[in-house]
Amino acid sequence: MLEGVNDRGSKEEGASYKDSSINGVNKEDILEGVNKADTKQEGVNNLSDKQWGVSIQGLYFCFGTEEIVDIVKGSGRVLQSHAKVPYMITLKCINKGGVSNDGVIKTPCSYIYKRLIVKAGDDCRQDMLALQLIQIFKDIFKKNNLDIFLYPYRVLCTDSECGLIEVVENAITRDQIGREKINSLVDYFELKFGFKEGERYSKALYNFVSSLVGYSLVVYFLNIKDRHNGNILIDDDGYMIHIDFGFMFETSPGNLSIELPLKLTAEIFMLMGGYDGVAFKFYREMMVKGFVALRRSSKEIMYAVDCFKESGLDCYRKGAVDNFYSRFMFDVGDNEIKENVEKMINGSCKKFRTWVYDKYQEVTNNIAF
């Protein structure tokens, strides 16, 4: 049911890609090249050279209007995954420019490079569902004039266990920040955006908090797990962006639900200035406003969740829809929501369980924190 649907379009719009975009990719094509190689990176290089066995001529970039000229040789790069086979490639595309109604070319043709993630061995339909719900959340915040940031990047399924994923540009993971020997987000923001008193730093911190609110609410309501530092990005404007929604609703890594409702690490807490910090107060205030806005539009959200309960997605285990419904806290009034949200924030802030999960990811998957 989700096949061919993206977060910004209908099923029919998504289906149009099948005729002219680079989605003739299936799990067997990817795994064949990888399994014959000694290492994942060698397998990706094989695939980059092979070009998936499809003709490039006449194909268009699946998340835009640019025509694909070529797959950049040697551009394949393995992404961090314990068991799956995700990799990133770069496509050379041509932007043919725009033409006005009177036939005058508005912009000249130009070559541009687009990056794309190809993922195999995983059901990307669940990511698509999560991102559709994130788009609904974003629309609700906008309708209520709440400056809460979310970035619903795009995913396109090409097979039941294979898909194409939009790359979030101009952003790095918290894991990459740690690998650069930057000790904390506080240090990173000072290096990236200058002195705390500066306008650039203040704007970046505001952006960070507005996005932290958005993704805190997403993680809470969708019960998203596996929030390690490889799945959290910081972009060039300071916004936090979450990626990879393979565990949500009633699923979790190893079926161990040890993660708290919100990921509020000590470094995030310190970046916002602690309990008395202006940024932390703004975070708490916007969390309440965002929660109330989502609750008042719960019918729209519940309809979207309920539509796919027979889809066969792994996240729809027993009790998934009922538990999702209960997270709106309909048993209390709007006036009591503030107290409950405050309890949730306090119960998630600087907790040992969050540290343990990040430490576990460092030891088992070499993800820095």
Start-to-end CA span in the chain (Å): 38
pLDDT band at 323 (very low <50, low <70, confident <90, very high): very high
What is the mean predicted confidence (pLDDT) over 334-351?
Answer: 89
Per-residue confidence (pLDDT) for residue 101, from 0 to 100 = 57
Residue 331 has pLDDT above 50, yes or no: yes
Domain boundaries, the chain: 11-121, 133-157+170-365
Fold of the CATH domain 133-157+170-365: 1.10.1070
Average pLDDT over residues 40-50: 52
Please determine, for residue 343, whether its predicted confidence score (pLDDT) is greater than 80: yes
The backbone region for 116, taken as left when phi is positive above 0, alpha when psi lies in -120 to 50, beta otherwise, is beta
Q: Between the CA atoms of 262, 267, 268 and 269, what dihedral angle is there, to the nearest 10 degrees? A: 90
Task: Compute the distance between CA of residue 40 and CA of residue 49 in angstroms, rounded to an integer.
Answer: 14
Whether the full predicted model's pTM is greater than 0.85, yes or no, is no
Residue 339 pLDDT class (50, 70, 90 cuts): very high
By three-state DSSP, how is residue 191 classified?
helix
The sign one gets for the Cα dihedral 189, 190, 192, 198 is positive
Between the alpha carbon of residue 98 and those of residues 59, 68, 92, 106, 111, the distances in Å are: 18, 17, 19, 5, 14
CA neighbours within 13 Å on the CB side: how many for 25?
Answer: 30
Render pLDDT for 227-250 as a digit per residue (tens, 0 to 9). Answer: 888 899 999 999 999 998 988 998
Q: Is residue 224 within 8 Å of 324, Cβ to Cβ?
A: no
CB-based burial of residue 82 (10 Å sphere; 0-12 exposed, 13-18 middle, 19+ buried)? Answer: exposed
Per-residue pLDDT reduced to its tens digit, 182-214:
888 999 999 999 999 899 999 999 999 999 999
- Sign of the Cα pseudo-torsion (11, 52, 122, 360, in order): negative
Residue 164 is predicted with a pLDDT of 87
